[in-house]
Amino acid sequence: MKVAVITGGASGIGLATGKRLKSMGCEVVLVDWSDNVESIALENGLMGIKCDVSNEEDVKHCILEVIKKYNHIDYLVANAGIGGSASKPHEVSMDEWNKVISVNQTGIFLLNKYVINEMLKSGKGAVVNTSSMYGLVGSTTSFAYSASKGAINQMTRSLALTYARDNIRVNAIAPGYVDTPILSMVPDNIKEAMGNELPIGRLGKDTEIANLICYLLSDDASFITGAIVPIDGGYTAA
């Protein structure tokens, strides 16, 4: 039985990926900072663990709990992340910078570190890290966020090269604007404008992102490692 760990798993892309992997016969562990992660997981026949991905002790405990229950981990989807303000770089506070970097960049590092350590024991594994289209192109409105996502791309490439001969593949996805619960409070006209920024003319769906993640984890993608795959409605093609 394949075992998958998904961070940011209580909603949006993470939850959609968990459901998709469950339908494919995987045991799935949703990891999230939300107090509701255990109940959300239970509703979907999954395991849930509350965890602050930026806290090393939290991450170590989380992975230990997964190993206690399942003995191994086959897949990691390191998807947890937060946005930042639209401040210009000279206006970004140290508090905002540190918070965004600690969750988006340090969180990816910690999950990869402790999960890959387990994958080395079993001699195989596949990882997908969640970057962003703003990790591939510049932005005037998301300085700390863009910096963290660019770092994820380089971390992914380095991890892929380091562990390629250990039968562990590491890739990243770079989504564009996706219609997730995070946008639930955004007025429809603003969401429509966001969709129109993408060449395809609409927002992405969390299920579309989940389908790509599941492909990259699967044996069908066995010759793909170190890739940063855009799924952004054509935004970075311009």
Q: Read off the amino acid at residue 10.
A: A
CB 218 within 8 A of CB 25: no
Hey, which bits of the chain come out as E strands? 3-7, 27-32, 47-50, 75-78, 125-130, 168-175, 178-179, 204-205, 228-231
Residue of 70, 75, 114, 145 marked active site: 145
Task: Tell me phi and psi for residue 116, to 5 degrees.
Answer: -60, -35
Cα(76)–Cα(155) distance, rounded to whole angstroms?
15
Q: Read off the amino acid at residue 42.
A: L
Angle at 80 (CA atoms; ends 74, 86), nearest 5 degrees: 155
Annotation says 163 is catalytic:
no
Token pair 């990243």 in the structure block, residue? 172
Cα(92)–Cα(141) distance, rounded to whole angstroms?
11
Which amino acids are annotated catalytic? 145
